[in-house]
Structures are given as structure tokens and as C-alpha cells.
Structure 1
Amino acid sequence: MFPLKTDTPLTQDQVVTVTRLMLHVAHVDGDKTAEELELIRAFYEGCVEAGNGWQTFDSLDGKRGSPDVAASDFADQGQREMALAICLMVAWADGAFSAREDESVRGIADKLGVGGERFAQVLALVKDHMLAQLAGLPDVGSIVAVAKELG
């Protein structure tokens, strides 16, 4: 299960905003990787309602730069923390969390009003979620190595 969720569904505008935030994180340390793009596309296409005027994923991917975002763009704290968690997952999707990704995600967190201790808690939840996805693998040594990499 995803580490954070909200009972308030995202609107179409919120899905687009979160997708653009994810794409921004994927681009900050160079071009996005296949793993990052797959995660972002899965999120967006999982939210798309066919025939309801949704933009294509490729049209969103073509827009560069950090999208404007504010805490007021989301109805509740749960939505803001979920958006942050998804951005953190994108940052880790290629197996590394670069200094530029960290700076970018912290900037997003500040704009969303998720700072300080709560940011650290959300980051820890994302790391735990990622490790839980590996728990069923038979190669314990690899799991330990990933755990050390995640910190």
C-alpha cells in the first residue's frame, strides 16, 4: 500500500499539478530516466478519465520548469503530503537521491507547507514503503545494500 493517502480525491487540476511536479523532480539532475518516467506515467494514466478533456501525458512532459504550486492548491494536508511523497518516490526511482533532487523536493515541500519534522516523517515513510516492496525477494544481501543506500 502507498505510504500516504487521503480520503479526498484529487481533482483534474491537482492531478496535472502533481504530474508536473513529478516531471520537474525527474528533470532536475539531468534528463529523466526510464524508471522515473514509468512511475510518473503510471500515476497520471491511472488518474485519467477517458473522454473528459484530460491532456495527454506527452503534452505535460514537454513543459519544463518548476510549476507554480501552493498549499492552497490542495484541499487538505493529506493531499499535500501525498503529492510530496510521490515526488520523493520519483527522486528515488533511479536508485539515487541527488543533492539537486533533495533541494527540489524540499522546495516543493516548503510551498506545500510540509516542512521540518513532518518532511522527515514523510521521507521516512517513503523509504519504508520502498523497502517493503523488496521484502519478498530471496536475496537478503541486496535488500540490506538498498536499505543502507536509503539511509
Structure 2
Amino acid sequence: MPPMTDQNLSPAQVTLLTQAMLSVALVDGIHPAEAALIGQFYETSRSADMPSTSAVMASPEVQAFDIATLKGSSAEFADTVVLMCLMTAYADGALSAAERSHVQAIASTLGLDAAHFEAHLAQVRDELVGALSHLPDAGSVAVVVKELAAQD
């Protein structure tokens, strides 16, 4: 699977993607690491005429997200949504069963089959392991890899 590439997202796509990421974080309560990831994405992607990051992050639970709004998205945007939702779920260190189920529902709505979802999941795990691989304590990295694999 090719690595995720930067896209020029429209304001509507930035808003949808942010809402999808927030919906994943809300599954088991927004962790500070999830909020930081979502806030950073939104802040670096939003245009000047969009609401501020602080306004979007202020009360995410009241911003209802309808998965059906993602139907008809391009394949490239669908891949980005699923990858970013998986990264959001893992931001707190673990992908819960409820988060996985929610991201799978998003992927299904976007038209991604189970094999495509699993490939994205493997890609995100590989990127997480890659980010840790520079650590001098190989034993700790091995434990993290084992924990990621055990979450299935």
C-alpha cells in the first residue's frame, strides 16, 4: 500500500474529516493526545474563513456527525479519512474494539471493503512501529509491537 500523500483538501473535506476524527475520539472519550492530533490537523488544514480551531474543539460532543455524509467521496479522500481516523484511534496508545468498529463503519460507508480496511490498519501500525524504531531500547519496541498485534 502506498504511503498517504498530501492532498489539497477543500474546506468541506477538512470539515468532514475533522468531524470523522472527532467521532472516533468521542467513542471512548477524547484523550488529550487525540485532541492534539485533531487540533493540529484542523489548524494546519483550515482556511481563514473557517471556524477557529478552538471553536471546533470547544464542544465536539454537540457537533453531530452523520457517517452518511461521507457517501460518494472520492477513493483518495476515503483512504485519507480511514487512515486519519485510525491514527486518531491510536493516538491514545490503543485501538479499542469500539473505536475499531466505528472506523470500520466509516470505511464501509466510504465503500472500502474489509481487505482494504485491514491494509490501512496494517499501514498505521507500521507507521507507529517505524516512529518507535529509533529508540535504543529494542525490548520496549518489541513489547509495543506485540501489544499492537494483540489488539486484533
TM-score by length of 1: 0.87
How far does residue 26 in structure 1 lie from its aligned partner after superposition?
0.5
Query: C-alpha distance in 2, partners of 1:35/1:63?
Result: 15
- Length, aligned pairs only: 144
Cα deviations by residue, 1:33-73 (Å, 9 ceiling, x for unpaired): 11111111111111123xx311122332324343343232x
Gaps of 5+ in 1: none
The code of the aligned residue for 1:24 comes to: S
The answer to whether 1:9 aligns with 2:8 is yes
- Quickly say closer, same or farther: Cα 1:63–1:38, change in 2 above 3 A: closer
How far does residue 150 in structure 1 lie from its aligned partner after superposition?
1.1
Contact 2:16 2:70 (C-alpha < 8 Å) held by counterparts = no
What is the correspondence of 1:1-151 to structure 2 with a 5 Å cutoff?
A: 3-5=3-5, 8-29=7-28, 31-49=29-47, 52-61=48-57, 62-64=59-61, 65-68=64-67, 69-72=69-72, 74=73, 76-151=74-149
RCO (CA 8 Å, sep 6+): is it higher in 1 or 2?
Answer: 1
- Quickly say closer, same or farther: Cα 1:67–1:56, change in 2 above 3 A: farther
Identity between Structure 1 and Structure 2 (%): 33
Cα RMSD of the aligned pairs, angstroms, is: 1.7
User: Per the alignment, in what secondary structure is the counterpart of residue 44 of structure 1?
Assistant: helix
How far does residue 87 in structure 1 lie from its aligned partner after superposition?
0.3
Structure 1 range deviating more: 55-64 or 133-142: 55-64
- Quickly say closer, same or farther: Cα 1:124–1:105, change in 2 above 3 A: same
Contact 1:19 1:40 (C-alpha < 8 Å) held by counterparts = yes
TM-score by length of 2: 0.87
Contact 1:17 1:67 (C-alpha < 8 Å) held by counterparts = no
Gaps of 5+ in 2: none
Query: C-alpha distance in 2, partners of 1:81/1:96?
Result: 21
Query: C-alpha distance in 2, partners of 1:38/1:94?
Result: 10
